[in-house]
Copies of this chain bind each other. A is one copy, B any other.
Amino acid sequence: MTVYVRGIGLIPIRDHWDLSISDLAEKAAKMALEDANLKDVDYIVVSNMSSQHLNMAGNLALPVKDRLGLNAKPITTESACGSGGIGINIGYRLIKSGAKNILVIGVEKLTDKVTEEVTTSMMMAEDRFFTGISGSSFISLNALALRHYLNRFQVEHEDIMLLPVLDHKNASTAKHAQFRYEITLDKVKKSPLVADPLHLLECSGTGDGAAALILSSEKGDVKILSSQIATDTFRISEREDPLVLNGTVKAARDAYVYSGISPGDVNIIEIHDAFSITGILSLEDLGFAEKGEGVKLLKDGKLELNGDLPANTFGGLKARGHPVGATGVYQVAEITLQLRGEAGKNQVENAKIGLAQNIGAIASSTAVTILSKNS
């Protein structure tokens, strides 16, 4: 059973003071249903991380169903920043199990509470009662990874900073992106240290957003060649090597094997750069660069829109935005736009095969989705 992407919906990421979490989900879902020209689906899968803690709301699939007058069966799923990719995997498996159309919604509203609460919520992505007790935040853990990387490899920190520069360049022309302006390398270097050595402009921001997909057994323009999930040890301190995202390595390997695609066949990628260092590790662990050599792709311009391997074509997590549980769904919707040739100013020429990598926590789970134009 082949799984197709039959419809997409994505709303601009920003502070949506006037919209509740259900409003956000409803808007994106409505767009996707209209895009697919569908009135109902078999299941709604809602991916979200923090609604209980930040929005005091649960059971998210239910209100969406009522507002859109659907008769669909509801599933709400959580896996930190990787919720979206896992929601897509559930939808993909539901089609494989005989369902016809699945609505997958990723939604997150981070602006209902103060920043400290967002920081607390993010720490639930790791083992808060073990790792958190040391005083670590999700940001400081990533800062340690960056420090470790700089110590081990002969890499200049400023070369890593080329990733947010690229992201902002792509986001500057992307309608749904949160930060629609270019930034210079100098600006990244001079931005405040959030957790040494991580600078503010190396970190994704806080925003509200929702994206939706209709996955279908009915033939469409874009098909999912493979959707795979894999995991790594939950506590980063217990990993053999904290600079290898094992979940990403395994999910990518499985996705390549099941789709019959190799990294060299991929035309376009969306990588999970919640932090600059996460993006670099991802490039390497997805098989696009040797360990310690991820920045070469950036320095050689290969990841630019007109390069060999355009990355984060609407700005990635840093500049399109990172509404946590929604991010994985944004990524696949964006690749769909590219494969359909509907990416506007951000269009990559001759894009045929795209890969999205969405990670939960520091890749304790990774979802890799490989899509192709259905020619």
A interface with B by C-beta (< 8 Å): 20, 49-50, 52-53, 56-59, 61-63, 65-66, 71-80, 86, 89-90, 93-94, 96-99, 120-121, 124-129, 229-231, 233-235, 238, 360-361, 364-365
Contacts and interface: CB of A to CB of B under 8 A. Distances in A.
Contacts of A231: 62, 65, 71-74
A55 B273 CA distance: 29
Contact of A90 (B75, B233, B365): B75
B78 A58 contact: yes
- Nearest 4 CB-CB pairs, A to B? A58-B124, A96-B97, A97-B97, A52-B52
B97 A79 contact: no
Contacts of A66: 233-235, 238
A56 B120 contact: yes
A57 to B, nearest CB: 6
A229 B61 contact: no
A75 B73 contact: no
Given A49-B58, A56-B124, A86 B93 contact: no
B75 A125 contact: no
Contacts of A90: 75, 90
Contacts of A94: 93, 97
Contacts of A125: 58-59
B59 A360 contact: yes
Contact of A74 (B58, B79, B235): B79
Contacts of A97: 93-94, 96-97
Contacts of A120: 56
Given A59-B234, A93-B97, 19 more contacts: A49-B58, A50-B52, A56-B128, A58-B80, A58-B124, A59-B126, A59-B365, A62-B231, A62-B361, A63-B234, A66-B235, A72-B231, A73-B230, A74-B365, A75-B79, A77-B77, A90-B90, A96-B98, A97-B97
Contacts of A79: 59, 61-62, 74-76
B93 A78 contact: no
Contacts of A364: 59, 62
A23 to B, nearest CB: 11
A108 to B, nearest CB: 13
A266 to B, nearest CB: 22
A57 B233 contact: no
B73 A76 contact: no
A2 to B, nearest CB: 13
